[in-house]
């Protein structure tokens, strides 16, 4: 496999077609990149070429996102447990024995479930605005928390704007000092997928289930304390959803974690991919085999 080319592939996992990007030499250390909402592995398009010179990179699209299957919600339960199970089967099928994991947004609760269930496989963790502490949740979560506490149809309906093109645009631009760095194909592609028939209901199912991640936070912390995985925190400090306090909180359980703030928003790779890529390359050299 050519080291510098990205290969776009699909694999059948538990009856679903899962799309993934792969680059680099498979004999080199593996890094699994897990995207968040409302995006896909497309968010890593600029990062992969930086990292794949020295590493084997795999970036899947979660079910319901990007170019992976988005089965009907009657056939597939859109929960974070289910997404993690799918990713477990994905790494098992690709026979990935040891890997570092990059988590962002929704990728964090998926990746941390994987880490807890496979501590022997994890060489390190990179969290880019991937939250695991209550301190990290901003007031933008208030209407969502209301829906968790009272899962009424009325509270669900108020969240429909969450998948609107205005919100997607906002997610990319809020907190960014130079908006000319935001490629329009990012939010346009994300919106294209969000606008698929019935996708709103799929996304609202996941929003509802996000509550299970908060419940698991203490278990994530226990995993951090017990295994002390090498950790790099690269965080956009103007993220409207996940506050800088959420990044700092990791250091309670992982005192050796390296933390760097970037003056940007949620999608830090859109504005700071070179800086973040450089940090990751340095970090990867410190990891166990």
Q: Which of 35, 55, 266, 272 is catalytic?
A: 266
* Exposure b/e, 186-212, CB count within 10 A at least 16 = b: bbebbbebbeeeebbebbbbbbbbbbe
* Exposure b/e, 7-40, CB count within 10 A at least 16 = b: eeeeeebeebebbbbbbbeeeebbbbbbbbbbbb
| Long-range own/partner contacts, residues 1-5 (CB < 8 A, 24 or more apart) | 1/25, 1/26, 3/52, 3/53, 4/49, 4/52, 4/53
| Catalytic residue list contains 266 | yes
Give the phi and the psi of residue 264 in degrees, each rounded to 5. Answer: -160, -175
235 within 8 A of 144, measured Cβ to Cβ: no
Catalytically active residues are 266
């Amino acid at each position: 496999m050519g080291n510098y080319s990205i290969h776009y592939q699909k694999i059948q996992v538990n009856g679903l077609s899962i799309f993934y990007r792969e680059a680099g030499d498979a004999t080199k250390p593996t890094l699994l990149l897990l995207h968040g909402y409302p995006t896909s592995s497309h968010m890593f398009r600029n990062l992969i070429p930086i990292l794949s010179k020295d590493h084997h990179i795999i970036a899947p699209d979660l079910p319901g996102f990007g170019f992976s299957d988005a089965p009907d919600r009657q056939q597939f339960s859109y929960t974070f447990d289910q997404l993690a199970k799918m990713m477990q089967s994905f790494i098992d099928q690709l026979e990935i024995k040891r890997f570092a994991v990059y988590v962002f947004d929704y990728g964090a609760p998926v990746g941390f479930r994987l880490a807890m269930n496979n501590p022997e496989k994890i060489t390190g963790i990179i969290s880019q605005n991937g939250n695991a502490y209550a301190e990290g949740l901003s007031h933008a979560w208030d209407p969502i928390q209301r829906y968790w506490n009272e899962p009424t149809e009325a509270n669900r309906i108020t969240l429909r704007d969450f998948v609107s093109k205005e919100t997607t645009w906002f997610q990319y631009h809020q907190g960014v000092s130079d908006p000319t760095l935001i490629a329009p194909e990012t939010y346009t592609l994300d919106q294209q997928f969000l606008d698929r028939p019935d996708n709103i209901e799929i996304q609202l199912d996941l929003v509802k289930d996000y509550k299970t991640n908060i419940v698991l936070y203490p278990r994530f912390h226990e995993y951090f304390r017990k295994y002390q995985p090498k950790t790099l925190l690269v965080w956009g400090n103007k993220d409207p959803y996940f506050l800088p306090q959420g990044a700092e909180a990791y250091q309670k359980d992982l005192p050796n974690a390296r933390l760097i703030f970037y003056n940007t928003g949620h999608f830090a790779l859109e504005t700071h991919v070179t800086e973040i890529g450089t940090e990751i390359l340095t970090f990867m050299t410190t990891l166990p085999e």
